[in-house]
Each structure stands twice: as structure tokens, then as C-alpha cells.
């Protein structure tokens, strides 16, 4: 498939309501991507960009994850979050920003509630907290909960502390619609950290009563790996190291199927979540020859497959170099065979973007594009860009489109997350802000008929044409 340089957008203006929790001020933000800042396949084009602005460009700010509700997308950031109005995807605009530092800003949304992960030790749970890196002194990390019923004026209403903080979290609704459960994934224990000592072979489960979210609390800390999980193998990107399993990096739930898939550092895991408060491991897989860090998981639309990503290099390495094998730093496609507690994960193939890149290039966050009868995914690869690829044939995945930021596009990190929502791809670039990308291809165009009311990437449902 051919590729093309995309001409720079006209200077895009967005009205920014910069909210500091104490009051709001308006500011203008303009972005000009510059000539030659990226290239795309012939079927892909960038239609809009909203740059990051102060205060989230300061205070350790870096764009991270995305969550969607109605005509809004919430952009997580190491320094807080931004709410964008995407009623017109060609002209997205900032509605509000919240300055509330605490990496890495993983976000999910349910109703009027926004959940935000904090995986760095802070002096306290407030938005005015400072970094507290001495684990022997008092500190806080965990989940912050905001009321976003007024999108222009979010309110911080509750915090919940969790062991080892919250690197990511997964929203799992109960079956009665009364409670939301947050499966908290965290890792990196150390004897010097007061509330994150090894072993850390568990997750934390936060129960949020939807009628009274201020009553949210940790209700369980199930040990998932009583045998300690994968012991790991020391080394670096070039030597083929494997991270020791000391918790999970990310879990994706499929609530209607009562299953979840966990990317748990050295292990890929399938869970039974019939009892939301007592998830059980059904099966585990390892790939020590090729997978270094099991990072995230995505089901296909009928939950018969799982794509696991390998974050080789931890998000800071050039793993798409020609001297690194196509089977390393790749996605792994697995079929789910059997059912219920007898289900197993069967490896079928690897997928890695078919472009060499000497910048940071690592498999990262993505989502399914809901195409009936096909399995198609969009995915971020940091400076490797955004890739759209088809894994309908589990053994022979193929890329069908891409958006690739070039070295001229400023900022070291590139695209952190890329998700399909109501006809468009939304990508959060660590430094460049929110990108809106359009793909025009007969293999995915059917997905434009799917309209969702809410979307959290780690909470999947069977998606059908029409409104979901």
C-alpha cells in the first residue's frame, strides 16, 4: 500500500477552559504541525489536532490514555486530564482542563464519574500534592474519583489508596447496575516502599457504589499468582530479558462474557470474573523466547481471540530497528479454545508494524474496530505511529493502514493510545495532543454505522451496527 505526506492543517484554534479546581480562565491554543511532520498510507488522513496547553504542558505533563462518553473524550495526562467536545470530530475543542498531577493518568468513565489512576507517590491525595519519592515517609497513591456531570467544571470528590498505587485500572460494572468495580493493576514492589513490598502477586479491587461514590473503598486484594508467577530473566532489550511477574500491567474485561484477559508482566492470563469480587485465573501462557513484558490485552468482538502486546523496552526503546526480530516487541494473537473454566489460550501468530524506525517504537494501547465478520484493530506504537491491522485470519495478520509521525514532529514519545469511537480514530500524542484520524477503506467503513454512548478500552462489549 502506498503512503503520502500529509500537508499541514490550517492553524487550528481551540478555546481552552483551563480549570485549576479553584476557578477557570479561558485561553487560546493554536497548533501548526509543520510541513513533513508525518506520513500516512493512502487510505488514512489526519483531520484535526488539538495541542496540549498549559498547565498540562508543565508540571510533568504528558498525554496518556483516553475514555469516551457521549460527545466527549477525556484525555488523561501525567499532570491531570482534559475534556474535549468531539460533537464535530473535524473541529474538536477543549472544554476544561484539570491540573491534578500524579502519573500516569489512566482514565475511565461511567455515567457522571471519572476515575483517574495515580501511580506515583504523592505527599497527599490532593491536587496540590507534591512528589514524595522516599517510600519510608508518608505518601499517597491510588485512584481519584471526579464528578464530571458539568463538563466545564469537574469536581474532585473522593480518593482511594491502593497498594503500589494504580498504574492502570479496569472498570467492571456489576450485573445489577448498582456498583462499579475497579480492578487496579500495579507492580514494582520494593522493600524500601512502605505499602508496596514484595511479594506483590495481586491486584486491588475497589468497589464504587454508584448511588454514593464517596463510599468507594478497597474490598479485596486477591492473590493471582500464589506460585509467584514468571520468575523473569534479567537483561536488556537486545539480550531478550523477561520481566518478573510482580502484579499486572493491564486487565481487559468482557463483562457480558464474565471473562477478562490480563497482561501481567511475565504472564498472559485469562480470568473468570463471574463473581466480580473474586476473579479466578482460568489459564496462563508464557512466551519467554519472544515476549519481554506482557503489557495489554484486546478481545475480538465475540471474545474468541485475544491480542496481547509486548512492551519490549518499557516504552522508551527503539524496538522496530531492523536488527530486532519481527517476533520480538510484537503483538501476540491467541485463539480462545474451549469454554468456561476449561478455556485455553492457543498461540497463532505475531504482528509487528512493517516499518523500521530508529526512534522510540513500542507496541502500546489500542482497541477493536467494530466490523461485522472481521477482526480489525487500531493501535499506538509511540513514534512508530498508529497502525490499523486485520487479524481475522489469526495465523496471518496484516496491516491495512497507518499514520506515522516523523522525526520532524516534535516531542520524544509519540502516540500513547489510539482508539476507534463513532467513526473516527482518536489518538493521544504525549507531546502533540489529541489527533483525530480518519480511515477510508472498504474493510472498515462498515464500522461507521456503530454509535456508542460510552467507551472504555479495557471494558469490552459485543458491538453491533446501530447504537450501543
User: Cα separation of 158 and 162, whole Å?
Assistant: 13
Q: What is the mean pLDDT of residues 428-449?
A: 95
**Cα(267)–Cα(442) distance, integer angstroms:** 36
pLDDT at 58: 86
Judged against a pLDDT cut of 70, whether residue 29 lies above it is answered with: no
CA 391 to CA 377: how far, in whole Å? 8
Residue 2: its pLDDT value, please? 56
For residue 24, the model assigns a pLDDT of 32
Phi then psi for residue 341, to 5 deg, are -75, 0
Per-residue pLDDT of 171-195, as tens digits, reads 999 999 999 999 999 999 999 999 9
pLDDT-based confidence at 341, cuts 50/70/90?
confident
CB-based burial label for 468 (10 Å; 0-12, 13-18, 19+): middle
**pLDDT at residue 440 greater than cutoff 90:** yes
Reading the block at residue 308, the C-alpha cell is 496481547
431-163-215-149 Cα dihedral, nearest 10 degrees: 10
125: which strand partners?
none
How high is the pLDDT of residue 407? 82
Higher pLDDT, 22 or 365: 365
- pLDDT of 1 reads 53
* CA nearest neighbour of 97 among 153, 37, 6, 18: 18
398, 389 contact by CB (below 8 A): yes
pLDDT at 73: 98
Please name each of the domains of the chain with its CATH number. Answer: 3-467 (2.130.10.10)
User: Does residue 26 contact residue 16 with C-beta atoms inside 8 Å?
Assistant: yes
Task: Give the model's pLDDT for residue 36.
Answer: 61
Segment 151-169 shows an average pLDDT of 98
State the maximum Cα–Cα separation within the chain, in Å, rounded to a whole number. 57
Contact criterion met (CB below 8 Å) for 229 and 266:
yes
Q: What pLDDT does 309 receive?
A: 98
Least trusted range by pLDDT, from 24-38, 286-300, 408-422: 24-38
Q: Is the pLDDT of residue 35 over 60?
A: no
Position 163 scores a pLDDT of 96
Arithmetic mean of pLDDT, 82-92: 97
Q: What is the mean pLDDT of residues 49-72?
A: 94
What mean pLDDT value characterizes the chain? 91
Name the more confident of 38 and 219.
Answer: 219
Q: What is the pLDDT of residue 208?
A: 98
Q: What pLDDT does 160 receive?
A: 98
| Position 30 pLDDT exceeds 70 | no
Q: What is the 3-state secondary structure (H, E, C) of the chain?
A: CCEEECCCCCCEEEEEEEECCCCEEEEEEEECCCCCCEEEECCEEEEEEECCCCCCCCCCCCEEEEEEECCEEEEEECCEEEEEECCCCCCCEEEEEEECCCCEEEEEEECCEEEEEEEEEECCCCCCCCECCCCCCCCEEEEEEEECCCCCCCEEEEEEECCCCCCEEEEEECCCCCEEEEEEECCCCCCCCCCCCCCCCECEEEEEECCCHHHCEEEECCECCCCCCCCCECCCCCCCCECCCCCCCEEEEEHHHCEEEEEEECEEEEEECCCCCCCEEEEEECCCCCCCCEEEEEECCCCCEEEEEECCCCCCCECCCCCCCCCCCCEEEEEEECCHHHCEEEEEEEECCCCCCCCCECCCEEEEECCCCCCEEEEECECCCEEEEECCCCCCCEEEEEEEECCCCCCCCCEEEEEEECCEEEEEECCCEEEEEEECCCCCHHHHHEECCEEECCECCCCCCEEC
User: What pLDDT does 16 receive?
Assistant: 32
Quote the pTM value.
0.93
Amino acid at each position: 500500500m502506498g503512503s503520502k505526506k500529509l500537508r499541514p492543517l490550517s492553524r487550528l484554534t481551540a478555546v481552552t477552559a483551563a480549570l485549576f479546581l479553584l476557578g477557570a480562565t479561558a485561553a487560546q491554543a493554536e497548533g501548526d504541525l509543520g510541513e513533513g511532520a508525518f506520513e500516512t498510507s493512502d487510505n488514512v488522513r489526519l483531520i484535526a489536532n488539538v495541542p496540549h496547553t498549559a498547565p498540562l504542558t508543565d508540571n510533568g505533563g504528558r498525554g496518556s490514555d483516553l475514555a469516551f462518553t457521549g460527545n466527549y473524550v477525556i484525555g488523561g495526562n501525567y499532570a491531570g486530564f482534559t475534556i474535549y467536545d468531539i460533537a464535530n470530530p473535524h473541529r474538536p475543542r477543549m472544554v476544561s482542563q484539570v491540573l491534578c498531577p500524579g502519573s500516569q493518568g489512566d482514565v475511565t468513565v461511567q455515567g457522571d464519574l471519572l476515575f483517574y489512576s495515580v501511580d506515583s507517590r504523592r505527599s497527599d491525595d490532593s491536587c496540590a500534592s507534591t512528589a514524595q519519592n522516599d517510600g519510608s515517609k508518608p505518601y499517597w497513591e491510588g485512584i481519584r474519583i471526579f464528578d464530571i456531570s458539568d463538563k466545564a467544571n469537574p469536581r474532585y470528590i473522593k480518593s482511594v489508596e491502593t497498594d503500589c498505587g494504580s498504574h492502570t485500572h479496569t472498570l467492571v460494572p456489576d450485573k445489577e447496575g448498582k456498583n462499579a468495580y475497579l480492578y487496579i493493576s500495579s507492580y514494582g514492589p520494593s522493600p524500601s516502599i512502605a505499602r508496596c513490598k514484595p511479594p506483590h502477586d495481586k491486584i486491588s479491587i475497589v468497589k464504587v457504589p454508584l448511588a454514593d461514590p464517596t463510599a468507594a473503598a478497597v474490598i479485596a486484594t486477591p492473590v493471582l499468582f500464589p506460585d509467584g508467577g514468571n520468575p523473569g530473566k534479567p537483561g536488556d532489550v537486545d539480550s531478550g530479558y523477561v520481566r518478573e511477574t510482580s502484579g499486572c500491567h493491564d486487565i481487559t474485561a468482557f463483562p457480558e462474557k464474565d471473562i477478562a484477559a490480563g497482561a501481567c508482566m511475565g504472564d498472559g492470563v485469562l480470568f473468570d470474573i463471574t463473581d466480580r469480587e473474586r476473579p479466578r485465573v482460568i489459564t496462563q501462557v508464557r512466551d519467554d523466547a519472544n515476549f519481554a513484558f506482557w503489557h495489554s490485552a484486546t478481545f475480538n468482538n465475540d471474545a474468541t481471540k485475544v491480542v496481547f502486546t509486548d512492551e519490549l523496552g518499557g516504552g522508551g526503546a527503539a524496538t522496530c530497528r531492523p536488527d530486532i526480530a519481527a517476533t520480538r516487541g510484537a503483538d501476540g494473537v491467541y485463539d480462545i479454545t474451549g469454554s468456561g473454566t476449561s478455556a485455553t489460550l492457543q498461540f497463532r501468530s505475531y504482528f509487528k508494524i512493517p516499518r523500521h524506525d530508529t526512534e522510540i517504537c513500542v507496541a502500546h494501547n489500542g482497541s477493536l474496530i467494530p466490523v461485522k465478520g472481521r477482526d480489525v484493530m487500531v493501535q499506538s506504537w509511540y513514534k512508530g505511529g498508529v497502525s490499523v491491522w486485520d487479524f481475522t485470519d489469526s495465523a496471518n495478520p496484516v496491516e491495512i493502514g497507518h499514520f506515522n509521525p516523523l522525526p520532524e514532529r516534535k516531542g520524544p514519545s509519540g502516540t500513547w493510545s489510539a482508539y476507534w469511537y463513532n467513526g473516527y480514530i482518536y489518538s493521544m500524542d504525549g507531546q502533540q495532543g489529541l489527533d483525530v484520524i480518519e480511515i477510508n477503506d472498504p474493510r472498515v467503513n462498515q464500522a461507521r454505522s456503530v454509535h456508542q454512548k460510552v467507551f472504555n478500552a479495557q471494558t469490552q462489549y459485543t458491538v453491533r451496527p446501530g447504537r450501543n
